[in-house]
Structure 1
Amino acid sequence: MNDFFKFYSGSLSGTIIVIIIFLFIRFLLRKQSNHIKIMLWVILLIRLLFPVSIYTEYGILYSETFVEKNENLSAQEMKSDNSLQIFPKDENTSKPYMGKKKNINILMILWYIGLLVFAVYYIIQRIAVCRRTKNAKKISSQDEIYEWKESMACVIGLVKPKIFLPFDLSPEQRQIVLQHEKTHIKRKDYLLMMLYYIALALNWYNPLCWLIYFGVNKDIEMACDEQTLQNTSMEERKFYARTLLRLCDKGRLKYVSAMRPFICERSTLKMRIKNIGKEYSCQKTIYIVVASGLLLVVLFGSFLYKKIGLNNVDSKELARLASYKSTLNFDDTMPKIGYVGKGQLVVYDNMGVYVYDLSSSDLTDYVDFEKNHFKGLQGDDATFIHVSKDGRYIQLSDNEKQLQYDLKTKQQKNQLDKKESWNPKTEPMGVETAEYYSVSDVYYIGEGETCFLAINKNVTPNYGALLCVVSNAGAEKEYSLFD
């Protein structure tokens, strides 16, 4: 459930793209056909329903669960426990003692409450609709068309939509109103409105989403008016406007659907009346070009942000690390290998944990000790690092706190799951050839295959020259880490 909440926690990239499309529709296309606006609203709907959430290290939606310090547990005892059961068990239970929670994520609770309110409101609306349609009279043997006592005409239903008309319409009024409602069904507007209601429920905390929700409902009505009035005379348009005014008489209005808010509100009605007198040319080529362009913005904007943002490393961070490592000499804390396999290498030192893609020699993830309030690998409050056997999870712990980072989903939490650690056979460092010497233990990562960290003898021995050497049956391959 927490992951579902995080998915809709509102990424920066998603908000920027939503704002761009919203402003584009509202201002640049304000004099264009409403059909193209609906096309763009559909693109925006995709973004609202399927956002790309960015999980920040200490953002506003971040939840921390710390454990109380246990003075009786030595660092050596924690280090020797490969199961990561680093806190003592309660005497009366087999579960580990995790301490008291220091913080409860109030925002997550509020988000779920808001979601529940929307669901309850929708259910109440549906019950009210069922009561109002109970005595409706079917007036067509072929189509689902009914008359009821309400003054508003509307479409109700998702699977088999039904049209409901006021009983006191003249034949001419009934014909044009019926045509309008059939246009809604043909365009599947009722489905679009329902999906936008769901999108609003999921993003109710975002004020921009409320503006979008009301805006799309207005544009849906005006697009339907526009299509209904195609190839009609000015007299027919005037009659349509008078009928619309009659139906939206506030003194007679008794029902407004949850999916069609304020469609007869004065400003909306004024816009619809003005729109009725306009003629729009159907320039399909322009529609396709504009819609395709914005769709590319949505898709590639998501991709680019995912590429840069979901990894804990950006270009500035890479430059900072490279500059720092190039001047950092080795000390008592030598770099260590945490995992090798599946084309991935995990190395850690006194600053943090580094994840490499061996196929591209790129640094793909970096877990910074300082940012996550860990104090490095030395001292009484030393940080202990475990990488899961499958290479997916990085787990950090000290005397007071824990952190688990998922390399696949890019999520982190302050609680460790029980994972089997990567624990290959090792030999103490001592590898030396004509080209380099090792600065780490030798890890046996497969049959006849070993891996170790090394420095080329021809360069100054510092972090900037650090290599990962993978040896298989005498054949060696070097990977530069910080160069």
Structure 2
Amino acid sequence: MERCFIMILNNALTVSVLIFAIIVLRLLFQKAPKGLICFLWVIVAVKLIVPVPLESTFSLLPNRTPVSVGIVSQQEPMLETGLKPVDAVVNPVIHEQFTSARATGVNVIQVFLHVGTIVWIIGVLGMLAYTVVTYILLKRRVRVSIRTEQNTYECDDISGPFIFGIVRPKIYYPSGMVWEEKEFILRHEKAHLKRKDHLWKPLGFVILSIYWFQPLCWIAYILFCRDIEYACDERATLGEDKQWKADYCQALLNCSVGRKRIAACPVAFGEDHVKGRVKNIMNYKKPAVWIVLLAIAAFAVVSVCFATTKKNDDNVEHNFTCDYGSSKLYSKEDMDEAIQTIMNEFNNWKGCEMHSIRYGSDQTCSEGDNLSWMQELENANDNKETFTECIMFECDFHSPKSDADAGGLNVDEEYTDWQWWLARSEDGPWKLMTWGY
């Protein structure tokens, strides 16, 4: 679960740039159709829930994994956002905390990931539990309702109209409403149904439940809910005259007075940001074609630049070959995580150049003596982590060409079959234990 939390953490960090860009676009293109704005929030949702990153040579995201999966085993843990001002502020703090805690034998990064994973899971379960409870309570309130027409019900125990349900959504409105108001309400709620907002809004809340710790995700969800109301108002009032729109706005105001927010999921008439919606309805005019085309072009540029990541070719980026061999014990993903942990250490070896790295063998990794050796090294450092797996890689590299950088290595020499040994506990990250011949 810690590796899953790191993936969620990386998504939460990298999506920040996209959300900020969309907020700026909302301000720049206020005259663009709000249905078009809603599409931008769909792009945010795709970026947050699709596990495989979308790649593009035009991406401006400096790094898709600011938090390395091997950060626990790094000699000097750091974030690699690719933004130097951010790294310059954050990394000294991380290094200071890690160094001071390390003197007492505590791996503060490992503690943070472990505690953070638990807190994250509790938060997700709490958000989902809130959704389930409010859904049940609201269902009880509308169970005594009178059907007035197809898919439409009148209820005594609600203060405002809304759509309830996902598979078979129904429109509910409070008893005693005059016919004129009901006409506007039904027009609005049916517009919601045509736009499938009863599906999009709950989906957005589920995604928010996963990323509940990211403040910008909360802002994105609030603006998304606001934009779907704007888009629905534009659709419901399309082609109507000013007097009709004025009556529609009055019905909107009447429904919002004294109204309590129901829950995160129902789509409701008069639910949110009434002042802004009234202003948008009365001032809305069908935008010129050039505005729409310019908005689409700007949205496309932002999506390509901030919703994708740079193409990543390990052989080009690291300039060495990887031989994964044939293993029944570990997947390519497992090996990539181990290799990344090795490179976190090797990159600190000034002047060294990696040429190739290859997986040892299943036989070597499955031998009990080797796992016991890893455990002895762990215990010798007064650490208490219990390992369940170990892995070994061999590499070829060239040592530095100057005495000042060589350290314990021979100067300007090709090293072959250099071994790297790593171990991990169940569901834990790889930890670099030792290296050499």
Which range moved further: 230-239 or 46-55?
A: 46-55
Which whole-Å CA distance do the structure 1 matches of 2:324 and 2:48 have between them?
A: 38
Q: What is the CA distance between 1:390 and its match in structure 2? A: 10
**2:163 counterpart SS class:** strand
TM-score w.r.t. structure 2 length? 0.62
| Partner residue in 2 for 1:270 | 275
Partner of 2:236: 228
- Which of 107, 116, 124 pairs up with 2:125? 116
Alignment of 1:73-472 (within 5 A): 104=111, 105-140=114-149, 143-149=150-156, 150-250=158-258, 253-259=259-265, 264=270, 268-281=273-286, 283=289, 285-286=293-294, 288-299=296-307, 301-304=308-311, 307=312, 341=325, 367-369=343-345, 387-389=360-362, 397=374, 400-401=377-378, 417-418=388-389, 463=412
Shift of 1:463: 4.7
Tell me how far apart the structure 2 counterparts of residues 197 and 371 of structure 1 sit (CA, whole Å).
41
Once residues 255 and 231 of structure 2 are traced to their aligned partners in structure 1, the CA distance between those partners, rounded to angstroms, is 18
Q: Deviations over 1:260-295 (max 9, x none)?
A: 5998578x1110110111233254544543443333
Please tell me whether the aligned partners of residues 152 and 255 of structure 1 are also in contact (alpha carbons under 8 angstroms): no
- Which deviations, in whole Å up to 9, do the C-alpha atoms of 1:3-45 show, x marking residues without a partner? 33222113443332332223322x2223432122111111122
Match of 1:56 among 67, 82, 95: 67
- Alignment partners' CA distance in 2, 1:18 and 1:37: 12
2:67 counterpart letter in structure 1: T
Counterparts of 2:31 and 2:19, CA distance in 1? 21
Give the structure with the higher percent helix.
2
| Matching residue of 1:21 | 22
Tell me, in whole angstroms, the C-alpha distance in 2 between the residues paired with 1:135 and 1:463: 84
Give the paired residue count.
Answer: 331
After superposition, give the CA deviation of every residue in 1:219-240 in whole Å (9 maximum; x if it has no partner).
Answer: 1111100110000010000000
| 1:40 correspondence with 2:40 | yes
Give the drift of 1:174. 1.1
Q: TM-score, normalised by structure 1?
A: 0.57
Q: Is the 8 A contact 1:218 1:263 kept in 2?
A: no
Q: Is the 8 A contact 1:389 1:422 kept in 2?
A: no
- Alignment-derived partner of residue 30 in structure 1: 30
8 Å CA contact retained: 1:391, 1:422: no
Rg (Cα) greater in structure: 1
- Greater relative contact order (Cα < 8 A, sep 6+): 2
- Change in CA separation of 1:261 and 1:200 when aligned onto 2, cut-off 3 Å: farther
Q: 1:58 to 1:296 in 2, by over 3 A?
A: closer
| Compared CA separation, residues 372 and 260, structure 1 to 2 (3 A) | farther
Shift of the 161–42 alpha-carbon distance from structure 1 to 2, 3 Å rule, reads same
Tell me the SS of whatever aligns to 2:343. strand
Q: Secondary structure at the match of 2:172?
A: strand
Deviations 1:323-364 (A, max 9, x none): xxxxxxxxxxxxxx996758xxxxxxxxxxx99xxxxxxx99
8 Å contact from structure 2 (residues 197, 267) kept in 1: no
Any conservation in 1 of the 2:147–2:153 contact (CA below 8 Å)?
A: yes
Could you say what secondary structure the match of 2:9 adopts?
coil
1:130 shift after superposition: 0.9
Given that 2:154 and 2:175 are in contact with CA atoms closer than 8 Å, whether structure 1 keeps it comes out as: yes
Deviation at 1:462, TM superposition (A): 6.5
Distance 1:465 1:2, change over 3 A: closer
For residues 32-80 of structure 1, what are the alpha-carbon distances to aligned partners after superposition, in whole Å with 9 as ceiling and x for unaligned?
3212211111112212223656273489xx6579xxxxxxxxxxxxxxx
The gaps in structure 2 that reach 5 residues or longer are: 54-63, 75-104, 327-334, 350-357, 380-384, 400-409, 418-437
Alignment CA distance shift 1:420-1:314 (3 Å): closer
Taking structure 1 as reference, are residues 276 and 183 closer, same or farther at Cα in structure 2, changes over 3 Å only? same
* Percent identity (aligned): 23
Q: How big is the shift at 1:365?
A: 8.8
- State the SS of the aligned residue for 2:377: coil
What is the distance in 2 between the residues matched to 1:16 and 1:392? 41
Would you say the 8 A contact 2:189–2:268 is kept in 1?
no
SS of the residue corresponding to residue 302 of structure 1 reads: coil
Q: Structure 1 22/261 Cα, relative in aligned 2: closer, same or farther at 3 Å?
A: farther
Contact conserved, 2:188 with 2:269, CA < 8 A, in 1?
no
Compared CA separation, residues 254 and 462, structure 1 to 2 (3 A):
closer
Determine if contact 2:205/2:221 at 8 Å carries over to the other structure.
Answer: yes
After superposition, the C-alpha distances for 1:435-472 in whole angstroms (9 at most, x for unaligned) are xxxxx9xxxxxxxxxxx9999xxxxx97587899xxxx
CA contact (8 A) 1:180 1:224 kept: yes
CA separation in 2, counterparts of 1:17 and 1:462?
47
What is the RMSD of the two structures over their aligned residues, measured on CA atoms? 4.6
Letter in 2 for 1:40: L
Paired residues of 1:13 and 1:302 also in contact (CA < 8 A): no
Q: CA–CA distance in 2 between the matches of 1:401 and 1:339?
A: 28
Paired amino acid for 1:228: A
Give the distance between the partners of 1:127 and 1:298, measured in 2 at CA: 39
Which has the larger strand fraction? 1
